[in-house]
Amino acid sequence: MKVIKRNGSEAKFDIKKIVAALDKANNSVDESSRMTEEEIYEIAGQICKNIKSIKRALNVEEIQDIVENELMQRNYFSLARSYITYRFQRALVRKSNTTDAQILSLIECNNEEVKQENSNKNPTVNSVQRDYMAGEVSKDITKRFLLPPEVVKAHEEGIIHFHDADYFAQHMHNCDLVNLEDMLQNGTVISGTLIEKPKSFSTACNIATQIIAQVASNQYGGQSISLSHLAPFVQISREKITKAVIDELKDNQIDATEEQIANIVEKRVRDEIKKGVQTIQYQVVTLMTTNGQAPFITVFMYLNEVPEGRTRDDLAMIIEELLKERIQGVKNEQGVWITPAFPKLIYVLEEDNIKEDSKYWYLTCLAAKCTAKRMVPDYISEKIMKELKKDKNGEGHCYTCMGCRSFLTPYVDENNKPKYYGRFNQGVVTINLVDVACSSKSLDEFWEILDDRLELCYKALMCRHNRLKGTLSDAAPILWQYGALARLPKGEPIDKLLYGGYSTISLGYAGLWETVYKLIGKELTDSEGEKLGLEILTRLNDACAKWKKKENIDFSIYGTPLESTTYKFAKCLQKRFGVIPGVTDKNYITNSYHVHVTKNISAFDKLAFESKFQKLSPGGAISYVEVPNMNDNIPAVLEVMKFIYENIMYAELNTKSDYCQVCGYDGEILIVKDPDGKLVWECPKCKNRDQSKLNVARRTCGYIGSQFWNQGRTQEIQERVLHL
């Protein structure tokens, strides 16, 4: 068994320390209240059994709770009181400095929890360590000075999750829909240097990657760009290339027909597109932002976003090249082609590409091959999205999320035109619905406690909003002054962008599956469970509507993409309520409204069922189906894509893409238990367990992770059943 120490490092469980602690407490009480030596060893043995039954590494505080409970159950009240007093005194001493031990363990790479906090950050790299160190200081300041005590307490107890507290001390926000069109067409400024409108497609792509890096360094969530904003630069390159070809032919006194010239030009245009797309692919995966990771960037592929004709055909060529580059992958240190985590790709399914006889069907077939090989792109149905995302004029719109799933609400500007690019999300607070259910003795009490917890979330969300109020545009010029989000004058506060629906702020939720099961003993997929689940989400939406009316801020329901928090919530639930079968008996809880990963359900039934819940998660939602290796069954992938188009707004297919650097195995890397009960990754061919020599890519919660995960998320990945 392993123990997570207070500084986050991992150590072997030592029963001698339990015995020593009991012995010390025993000697501190009256002789009449003391245990015998045999009783001490008996209790220590029982504590050991209790720890093993939880099936995960416990931290020191959790083990101390188990010790206290065991003493109380055996009626050793004086001894338990002595133990609790000593524990409290030690806690007071530690509180005098809350960050030193954490930071030291980060520097020495001993912090096991941080190592597995973010599946796309390598904690041994200096820039990542620097970001984590700054994050520890920010979290400490946030807890002690910036947040109300009741919000901090609820966060630490897993009642809510105040996301990204490691960035809260700064005036930073969550995620963006970058207005790349404005920045490329009208110019921008990067690091004090004026960047004018590019004069070729490849230059536009290069500038786009610089913008991506700058934006990523000034916010902490995801960002998205659209290829439609790059498409007009293909024609600029075409005109430039045409002139060059004609001049070359003239200089060499070569006669050529218009058709021959056009063929030469188009070949060079395709070379230009390939060069530009490769720039995006390789720049994104090799860039490192100030937080020590590649930018969390999503690239949007939507044909109907540009007019029919030459521009749409040019956009199709860009999409085709991007898909081909992604199918190929990127080379690892050994020169083997592997699946990169970023950029995340989204492909819109629309009338012109969803049927075999449609003009761009060939792109959809290519997208299917890419999904089977590299897990991207993900798919948005233009048809369903336009039904769900209607503005105040009743017009439906199709647009990308900001990162993995965070969607803006429909918005019409002062000219009565829809606006999405240049908008952003202020931040997220997530409610642990399972805790509400476990705290309730009846369904009536559940609704009462839910309302109380929602008011707590409202208070926490307003803290996020108020932290951004008064932020000057100078804090992040690339965002607020030079077009990524706005073009405000220097020294102007960003306040007007926080109201009226220009930006959103998100109420996340987690564990709807477990919540319904705890309340009525039914699965969410049961008719009664579905009814209650939809009722709970309706209640959350009603709360957001009330807050929006009060504050003139677009509060929106967000299907939280839990990563490390799924484990944190599970641990807190076990601590507060024990192990409840079907509710708290896993080391993870279910993301948002998702069907439980262990539930046997077909891909089509799952997507159809979850589509009902996407409607009630306007601030963000994505559904997935787990599939086996589909490289030899592309027609089946296409059938799933057609079903997505007709039935659900946003979905993805999860497959596996792994490689063992020791033996060259390129099948599925497995999850096994080591002798201590810890879940580890192992090559089934050579039994290699060295994570630094394994390339594993898994969909974590809307995006691909490649740096491994905490024990809760690893168990969730291990227990996923196939839907196809």
Cα torsion angle, 632, 635, 639, 644, sign: positive
**Tell me, what's the pLDDT at 291?**
55
Give the pairing type, strands 679-682 and 670-673: antiparallel
Q: For residues 54 and 567, is the Cβ–Cβ distance under 8 A? A: no
Residue in the block written with tokens 């700064």: 170
User: DSSP assignment of 668-722, as one string?
Assistant: PPEEEE-TTS-EEEE-TTT----GGGEEEEEE-SSSEE-S---HHHHHHHHTPPP
Give me the pLDDT at residue 8, please. 60
Q: Kind and range of the H or E element at 555?
A: strand 554-559
pLDDT at 119: 47
Residue 77: predicted pLDDT = 80
Gap between the Cα atoms of 210 and 192, Å rounded: 13
Return d(Cα 259, Cα 265) in angstroms, integer: 10
Q: What angle do CA 205, 210, 213 make, to 5 degrees?
A: 125
What whole-number distance in Å separates Cα of residue 416 and Cα of residue 572? 47
Q: In which residue are the tokens 């075409």 written? A: 238
DSSP 472: B
In this prediction, residue 637 carries a pLDDT of 97
Catalytic residue set:
174-175, 402, 404, 406, 425, 558, 563, 702
Alpha carbons 289 and 121: distance in angstroms, whole number: 11
- Tokens representing 457 are 């979330």
Give the Å distances, CA to CA, from 58 to 159, 363, 575: 19, 49, 10
Low-confidence ranges of the chain (pLDDT < 70): 6-9, 86-134, 288-293, 701-703, 706-707
Predicted local distance difference test score (pLDDT) of residue 491: 96
State how far the alpha carbon of 247 is from the alpha carbons of 4, 240, 505, in Å.
70, 11, 55
d(CA 213, CA 293): 10
* DSSP β-ladder status, 330-331 and 193-195: unpaired
Q: What is the pLDDT of residue 269?
A: 98
- What does the domain layout of the chain look like in residue ranges? 2-96, 175-342
pLDDT in tens, 699-709: 876 667 766 77
